[in-house]
Chains A and B, each alone.
Chain A
Amino acid sequence: MSSVAANSLDPASAVLLEVRGVAKRFGTREVLRNISLTIAEGEFLTLLGESGSGKTTLLRLVAGFEEPTAGEIWMSGVRLDLLPPYQRRVNTVFQNYALFPHLSVRENVAYGLRVDEALRMVKMQEFAASRPSKLSGGQQQRVALARALVNRPLLLLLDEPLSALDANLRKQMQSELKALQREMGITFLFVTHDQEEAMALSDRIALMRDGALEQVATAREIYAHPATAYTARFIGQTNLLRGEILDGMARCGAIEWPSDDPGGAAIFSLRPEAIRLASDAVALPGTARFRAALQQQFFSGASELLEVNCSGQLLRVRISARGPLSGGHEFVFSTADAVRVQE
C-alpha cells in the first residue's frame, strides 16, 4: 500500500513522534489495531476518520490519558507511553475546550505559565481577567489554544478543536491555526472527522477506519491516488466504477478503455472533475469516451455538478458553469485519472 512509502514526509526532517504497533482494547472491544505512525518535527498531521474510527483514542494515548494495550510510543528518544501525562512535553486542545470555570482567562493560561506572551499570540490579552463563561465559543477556543501553547510543548494535540464553531468562524480559525503552527514551528497532531478541514490544514493525513490506518499520505497524494474505495469516497467526491480487466481492456458497464493492469475484478475511482463534456468527434489516445443522459444539474457558482446516467450507471461530473443542459451528451476522461483502488 502506498501508505508505507508516504509515511515519512521528508527524509531530511527528524522524526519527533513514533507510534510503534500500538493497540488499544476496552474490555473486549478493539478500538485500535496495530497502529504504526511517525510524525516529523514541525509537521501538521491530521488523524481523519468517522466517529468510532479510533482517532480520538489514539490522541488520548499520546496525551497519556489512556495506556496502550500493546505497542510503544516514542518522542525524541524517550519512551512516552510510560510517563504520566504531566511529565510529557505534549499539550492538548480539548474538544470542548476544558477551560477551568473557576479561574480567569489569565489564571487558566497561567496554569502552565508564561501567560502574557501566550495570550498575545492568540490576541486575547484584553480578556485576561474575564471568566471563561463570559467568552464566546471562538474566544474560549483561543484561550484553550493559549493555555496549551504556553508550555511550549514539542507536540500539540488538538481534538476536534473547531467542531463547536460555526462555519465562518471555523474557516477563520483554520487559517489562524495554520499560521500559528508555521510561526511557532510546533508539531501539530490534529483530530477531525471533517475531510475538507483535514485537506486544508494538514501536511499529511492519516485516515483511520475501524481502529486501523487506512492510508497515510499528503492531502494531494491521498486525493489523487486513494489506495482504497473507502478512502476515495471519504476524501472528496468520487465515482466508483466497478468492473473487470480482461485482455488488456478495463470494462465497467458501458465504459471501457485499454489498461495494462493485471487482469481480474477491479474498482476504479474517477473524480467528478476528471470527466469533461467531449468537444472532439474522435477519442484522443489515452482518453475514454462514453455517452450518458443528463438526469440532474446542480449549479454552484463557478462550477456545476451533473448527475448523468450511462446505460444504468450513475456518474457525477463536475464541469465549469456553462448554462442549462439536457438530453444525451458525450463525455470524456483521461484514463490516467481512473485510479484503480482496493475494496
Chain B
Amino acid sequence: MYSNAYKKLVSLPPLLWVGLFLLLPYALMLAHSFWAVRDGMLVRQPDLHNYVTLFSKPVYAAVLVRTMRIAAAVTLCSLLLGYPLAYYLSFHAGAPKELLYQLVIVPLWVSYLVRGYAWKTILGSEGVLNGFFEYLHLTHEPVAFLLYSPFAVVVMLTHIYTPFVFLPIYAALEHIPRTLVEASEDLGAGAAQTFLRVILPLSIPGLLAGATFAFVLSLGDFLAPLLVGGASSTMIANVVQSLFGAAYDRPLGSAISVGLVIITVSLLVLSERLEKRWRYQ
C-alpha cells in the first residue's frame, strides 16, 4: 500500500504535536512537583516535600473533598435532568425528535463564559430570580445564597454539563433494538417493568459515560467558582491557579495537578471497566 517512508512522514506532525504540547508539559509538571521554591527562586532538587505538604495540611484535603462533593452533585443533577430527557426523546418524542435533539445541542455552541455570566444575572441579588420572587411577594429582600455559593456553582455546572450527560445516554437508548421492548411486553411486562428490566440495564454504558463526563469536567473546573461561586466554594483548580499565579509556588501547584491527573485517570479507567461489563452487543 503505502511506503514506510510515507507512513513515517505523515505520522510525524501528529507525533510532534502530541510530544510538544502534551507529553512535554506533563513531564515538566511531574518534574516541577518534586522541585521547590526558595526565596522566589526555583530550586531543582527533587524531593517529596510538596506531597508531604498536601497530605499534612488539612486545607487541601478539605478543598478536594468540597470539589468532589460539588462534582458529585453536578453529576447527580445532570443525570436526573439528562436521563429523562434522553429517554423521552428516544422513545416518546415522535416526529419532533430531530428538532428537540438540535435544541439540546445548541447551548454547546454558546461560549462557556457567556453562559456563566447569564447565571450571574439570573442568580444575583439584583438578578432575574430575586426580582421575580419579590414581584410575587415571596421575599422582601434578596435571597443571598443564590449567588456566591456552592449552590450557584452546582446550578451553573449542571446547566453546562447536562448536554454532555444527555448525549451518550441518548446514543445508548437509540441503540436498543425496539424489538426488545416489544419482546418484553410480549412476555407480560408492562411499561414500568420493561423500563427497569430491559431499557435501564441496556443504557447503563451510556449512563456511566455521561456521569464520567460530568464528574471529571466538574472536577477540573475553575471558572464557575470564580464567576458565581465566591470564597465559600473555592475548588481545587482555583487553588492550583492561585499557586501558579499570585502565590508563585508552581511546584506545589504541580503536585496538586499530578494528584488530579491520577484521580481523573483512575476514574476514566474505572468507568471504562464498568462500561465494558455492561456492554453486550
**Chain A residues engaging chain B, CB cutoff 8 angstroms:** 63-65, 84-86, 90-92, 94, 96, 98-102, 111-112, 131, 133, 147-148, 151
Contacts of B188 in A (CB 8 A): 86, 112, 151
**Interface secondary structure of A, over-half rule:** loop
Contacts of A98 in B (CB 8 A): 177, 179-180, 182-183
Given A98-B179, A133-B281, 13 more contacts at CB 8 Å? A64-B185, A65-B182, A65-B185, A84-B185, A85-B186, A91-B186, A94-B179, A94-B183, A100-B198, A102-B202, A102-B278, A112-B188, A151-B187
Interface flag for B97 (CB, 8 Å): no
Q: Which residues of chain B from 174 to 192 have a CB within 8 Å of any chain A CB?
A: 177, 179-180, 182-190
Contacts of A63 in B (CB 8 A): 182, 186
CB distance from B200 to the nearest CB of A (A): 10
Is the pair A92, B201 in contact by a Cβ cutoff of 8 Å?
no
CB distance from B206 to the nearest CB of A (A): 13
23 pairs, CB–CB < 8 Å, chain A vs chain B: A63-B182, A64-B185, A85-B185, A85-B186, A86-B185, A86-B186, A86-B190, A92-B182, A92-B183, A96-B179, A98-B177, A98-B180, A98-B182, A98-B183, A99-B183, A100-B180, A101-B280, A101-B281, A102-B202, A111-B197, A112-B188, A133-B280, A147-B183
The one of B177, B186, B201 in contact with A102, judged by C-beta atoms closer than 8 angstroms, is B201
CA distance A225 to B134 in the complex (A): 86
Is the pair A111, B202 in contact by a Cβ cutoff of 8 Å?
no
Is the pair A102, B280 in contact by a Cβ cutoff of 8 Å?
yes
| Interface residues on chain B, size class | 10 to 19
Contacts of B182 in A (CB 8 A): 63, 65, 85, 92, 94, 98
**Chain B residues engaging chain A, CB cutoff 8 angstroms:** 177, 179-180, 182-190, 197-198, 201-202, 278, 280-281
Contacts of B185 in A (CB 8 A): 64-65, 84-86
Is the pair B202, A112 in contact by a Cβ cutoff of 8 Å?
no
CA distance A98 to B178 in the complex (A): 9
CA distance A16 to B186 in the complex (A): 19
CB distance from B77 to the nearest CB of A (A): 27
Total contacts A to B, CB within 8 angstroms?
Answer: 60
Contacts of B280 in A (CB 8 A): 101-102, 131, 133
CB distance from A140 to the nearest CB of B (A): 13
The one of A64, A102, A112 in contact with B187, judged by C-beta atoms closer than 8 angstroms, is A112
CB distance from A31 to the nearest CB of B (A): 17
CB distance from A233 to the nearest CB of B (A): 32
Instruction: Give B179's nearest chain A residue, CB to CB.
Output: A98
CA distance A65 to B280 in the complex (A): 25
Contacts of A92 in B (CB 8 A): 182-183, 186
CA distance A90 to B187 in the complex (A): 9
Contacts of A148 in B (CB 8 A): 186-187
CA distance A94 to B177 in the complex (A): 12
Is the pair A100, B183 in contact by a Cβ cutoff of 8 Å?
yes
CB distance from A45 to the nearest CB of B (A): 19
Instruction: Give B180's nearest chain A residue, CB to CB.
Output: A98
By Cβ-Cβ distance, the 8 closest A-B pairs, closest first, are: A101-B280, A98-B179, A98-B183, A85-B185, A112-B187, A111-B187, A86-B188, A92-B186
Is the pair A86, B189 in contact by a Cβ cutoff of 8 Å?
yes
Instruction: Give A112's nearest chain B residue, CB to CB.
Output: B187
CB distance from B174 to the nearest CB of A (A): 15
CA distance A91 to B182 in the complex (A): 11
CB distance from B178 to the nearest CB of A (A): 9
CB distance from A99 to the nearest CB of B (A): 8
Contacts of A91 in B (CB 8 A): 186-187
CA distance A292 to B177 in the complex (A): 56
CB distance from B186 to the nearest CB of A (A): 5
CA distance A92 to B280 in the complex (A): 23
Given contacts A92-B183, A111-B184, A133-B281, contact A101 B202 (CB under 8 A): yes
CA distance A100 to B186 in the complex (A): 13
Is the pair A147, B202 in contact by a Cβ cutoff of 8 Å?
no
Contacts of B278 in A (CB 8 A): 102
Contacts of A90 in B (CB 8 A): 186
CA distance A12 to B219 in the complex (A): 75
- Chain A CB within 10 A, most for which of B184, B187, B189, B190: B187
Contacts of A102 in B (CB 8 A): 201-202, 278, 280
CA distance A64 to B182 in the complex (A): 9
CB distance from B220 to the nearest CB of A (A): 33
CA distance A98 to B281 in the complex (A): 12
Contacts of A111 in B (CB 8 A): 184, 187, 189, 197
CA distance A72 to B253 in the complex (A): 74
Contacts of B177 in A (CB 8 A): 96, 98
CA distance A270 to B26 in the complex (A): 84
CA distance A151 to B185 in the complex (A): 13
Contacts of A112 in B (CB 8 A): 187-188
